[in-house]
Structure formats: structure tokens, C-alpha cells
Structure 1
Amino acid sequence: MIRLTNKFSNAEIVRTRDLQVLEGLDAVLDVGGVYDPSRDRYDHHQKGFEEVFGHGFSTKLSSAGLVYKHFGKEIIAKELRVDENHPDVHRLYLAVYKSFVEAIDAIDNGISQYDTDQPPRYVNHTHLSARVAKLNPDWIDPDQSAENENEAFQRAMSLAGGEFLDSVRYHAMSWLPARSIVMECLEARHGIDSSGEIVLLKQFCPVSN
């Protein structure tokens, strides 16, 4: 995701936990034990970390969520080809977090989707986080080299980045136009019935919040 920004569009990916190496990097994600956006440090594993997205969301952020929190509007504005202050950017910023990024934050932080002590009725290993995990070299794979791990990491970045952009583009090209139609019909509802309780959709569009 961070390579979709202007600042890091040509960034080279370095995989390491060596603190001396990390200190010299332009940005550090998901390692290092530091959250400091002024230095582009975006880890969430350190003790006492409780950062959330805000805007009514209370799920603790993962490193992906941290990057989205600080760079999401820029990425969305580039996709929409508008200024970051355009109201549609903020709408998509919230919608993409709700429908895509928040689940990644929750899964990464071990937060259950439901407040219940009951066991789940079925297992879901098809979500993005699970599919990314499956790209890791299998324990029985004879090639346990760093090169093999790095190749798997590149595939994981491609998968996650592609699905993130798919989500942004869906919301920009489908969800947002549908929302505009629904909002226009809501504003005109008193012309349909004085109670304002009847809304007439003049054309088909998907309706969701």
C-alpha cells in the first residue's frame, strides 16, 4: 500500500529485524516496535499501543491500518484524480476502511468478529489474511532460503495490494455513483409522499450503507 504514495512509489523493500538496518531506512512497517508517523515508523506490536482509526471505529490498528490512516486519502485522491480535500475522498476513505482495512486490522490483532464464547459454526480460511499466510513457504519445502521467503513476500504484496486497489476502485466506480443516486432520491422523497417515508429509486443501483 505504501508504494502507492508519491513519497514511496519507487521504494525498495528490505525485509529485516536488525535494528541498525531499520534505523537507516526511510520507512519501517510492522517491525521495530515504534509508531512515529513523523519518521514514517508504523509498527503496532509494542507494549501500550492502542491506536485506532477514529471516525467511530474502535478496532486497534495493524501496520496496514496505520499506513492507511496516514496515506489512504492521498491514494484515494490519486485514483479519483481530485484534490485530497474533495468530499468524495473522505467518503471513500471511511468506506474502504470499513469494508476492507478494518478486517485486516482485527485479524492481525487477534480480535474476534463477534462477542461470544460459542465456537464458530464453520471455519473461514478464504479471507485475505489467510490467503496471504498460505503464500509462506511450507515447513516441508526443502527450500527454506531467504530468497524463497522474499519471493513469497513479493507475491503476498502483489495479492494484498491488488485487492486493496480493487476495493478502492469498486467504491470509486460503483459504490459512490450508487450512493449519489440514492441520496438524490432521498432528497426528493417528499415529492413522492408528504410523509417522507417512501423513496422512489428511478433506476437500478446497489443500495448499501
Structure 2
Amino acid sequence: MLLAATHSGSFHADDVFAFAILKAATDGAVSLTRSREAMDWDRAQVVFDVGGVYDPDQGRYDHHMRDKPLRPNGEAFSSAGLIWRDYGRAAIAHLQNTATPGQIDIIWAKLDAGLLRDIDLMDNGAMDRHPGHFSALLETWNPTFAENSADENASYHQAVMVADNVLARSVAHAFAAAIAQDAVADAAERAADPRIIVLDSRLPWEEAVFDLNLTQALYVIRPAGKDWTVSAVPPERGSFAQKKPLPDAWGGLREAALAAVCGVSDATFCHSARFVCGAKTREGAMAMAGLAVEA
């Protein structure tokens, strides 16, 4: 059983989420003391968000000092980010026990760059606070002044339960992204033409293309039910543009009209914005992608 301690009183998203991470990392084998007494901290193996010391070797994870721990880019950690750095991979391994070490690294990095970084920034006042932010929502579990009979520790653990679920679902989505990245990497390695990536299942590919730095990729082919689609790769992450839009003559056409123009007999459609088209067979989709590359 891991003995952990943090401060009592009002809580923030970082000390709530830090404990959720420890729970996942130990598969629940952790007990928590919430206290302002140094003697209680001294009895703990891990102390976070309190104590004035950052020393991972001693299990001390505070971030409120003048010489506070910083990320490589200079952004300040909160207790959540610090606990994630040392315990995040163990948490992932328990939450997704089929993940490979490489996939665990991908999941860890995705959450560190997104959810954990946002909690860190919000806690350190480096991000504009707004009511809809996850940190602000989590902190609404603090009892209000009108709730005189509210149990502060019970409220904290209710917030931890929310954080438990958010952590589990965030890891699940990142695990799916890691699986997709592995599949895209394998498809790219097998591609006869690096400009055309052919996937065997309908999985999300956009993030993987950029995470893997597949700079030559122009089109991604994948199944869509019984049919197949060809999607144009955007020039940068999150863009609605395309590196090489599908041929202008195809835009907005369907079935026979499209087949007559492109010469692929089983062509089914081409979106008017020319970012995606389709065919009834894998071979048809590959033929359309080949034509688009050479157009």
C-alpha cells in the first residue's frame, strides 16, 4: 500500500488529478491523508502539492516554490504534471494492460501534451480561466459557503471519482490513437508509392500521418462499409485544406457521371470540396488515388 499525502482544505484540479493518477498507477493500492500538518506528510511515501519541496527521489512533489520545476519549454508544472511524469506510465499500464511499451509512451506523451499540460497551465495562472474548462468544472466539487454541513474530504473524493473516469477515458482514446499510429506506420512501410497509404480498416489516420512525419503522403485509402474511400492529406495538422486536392473535374460528381470522367468504372462519388472520393472496391479506390497523384 502506497501512503500518500496532500493538503486539506479547498482543492484544485491538480491535486485531485494527481491522486487519480496514483490510484491508477497502484491499481488502487494507495491511501491518502489530507492534512496541513508536517508530521502527517513525514509519514507519507509520496507528498504532492504541499510541503515546499520538489524531490522525486524522496517522493516530494510540490510546485509552489520560487525555484519551481519547469517543463523543457519553460512552462511550470503543477502537482498533476509532476505525478504524471513519474507515475503516468504505470497508470497507463494498469488502465490498458494490453498496451505495448511503445504504445504506452505514445499515450503518455499525448496526455502530457494535452490534458496534463492544460491542468498545469491553469493551476499556475498561465491559461485564462473560464467556466467550461475541465479544471474549473472539477473544482466545482469544492463545497460552497452556503453548504455549511458539506464534508470537504468527501467532496474531494467525489471529484477524484470524476478524475478517475476522465483519466480512464482519455487513456482509452489515446490507446486507440496509438493503435492507429502503429497501423499507419505499417501501411506506410508497405506502400508501393509513399504518396498513397492503404489501410485495411477504417481507423483515424490524420494525427498519425503528422506524428510519423509522413511528409510524402498525399492520399489515404481505407474501407467504408462495403465501399472504399480516398482522402486527401491536409498540408498541416488540423487544416481543412489539402496538399493536393482531388482533380477539379471530379468535384461534386457521382456514380456514372464520375466514372465517365475519371475512367474508374466503380467510382461512387467525389465531394465538391475535393477532399474525399470513393469507389466500390479497393482496386477502384487505388486507381482513383493513382489518377489523382498524376493529375
TM-score, normalising length: structure 1: 0.78
Q: 1:137 to 1:189 in 2, by over 3 A?
A: farther
Shift of 1:78: 2.8
Partner of 1:151: 154
Following the alignment from structure 1 to structure 2, what is the Cα–Cα distance between the partners of residues 15 and 189? 59
Q: For each residue in 1:35-94, what CA deviation from the matched residue of structure 2 results, as whole angstroms up to 9, or x when unmatched? A: 111121111111211332x4xx5421100100000011122223332587x211111110
Partner of 1:51: 70
Partner of 2:37: 18
Following the alignment from structure 1 to structure 2, what is the Cα–Cα distance between the partners of residues 78 and 178? 20
Shift of 1:197: 4.6
Q: 1:97 to 1:150 in 2, by over 3 A?
A: same
Q: 1:150 to 1:196 in 2, by over 3 A?
A: closer
Is residue 165 of structure 2 the alignment partner of residue 162 of structure 1?
yes
Shift of 1:126: 1.9
Measured on the aligned residues, the alpha-carbon RMSD in Å equals 2.8
Q: Extract unaligned runs of 5+ from structure 2.
A: 1-20, 197-214, 239-295
Q: 1:69 to 1:192 in 2, by over 3 A?
A: closer
Following the alignment from structure 2 to structure 1, what is the Cα–Cα distance between the partners of residues 195 and 118? 39
Is residue 145 of structure 2 the alignment partner of residue 130 of structure 1?
no
Q: 1:189 to 1:4 in 2, by over 3 A?
A: same
Partner of 2:177: 175
Q: For each residue in 1:129-174, what CA deviation from the matched residue of structure 2 results, as whole angstroms up to 9, or x when unmatched? A: 1112111111122226xxx1011101111111220111011111x2
Secondary structure in 1 aligned to 2:75? strand
Spell out the pairing of 1:83-94 with structure 2 (5 A cutoff).
86-94=101-109
Partner of 1:104: 119
Aligned mate of 1:95, from 94, 110, 122? 110
Following the alignment from structure 1 to structure 2, what is the Cα–Cα distance between the partners of residues 175 and 83? 12
Following the alignment from structure 2 to structure 1, what is the Cα–Cα distance between the partners of residues 29 and 105? 26
Partner of 1:118: none
Is residue 4 of structure 2 the alignment partner of residue 4 of structure 1?
no
Following the alignment from structure 2 to structure 1, what is the Cα–Cα distance between the partners of residues 29 and 50? 21
Q: 1:189 to 1:163 in 2, by over 3 A?
A: farther
Aligned mate of 2:51, from 6, 28, 32? 32
**Matched letter for residue 154 of structure 2:** E
Following the alignment from structure 1 to structure 2, what is the Cα–Cα distance between the partners of residues 34 and 68? 17
TM-score, normalising length: structure 2: 0.57
Following the alignment from structure 1 to structure 2, what is the Cα–Cα distance between the partners of residues 2 and 13? 10
Shift of 1:192: 5.3
Following the alignment from structure 1 to structure 2, what is the Cα–Cα distance between the partners of residues 165 and 197? 33
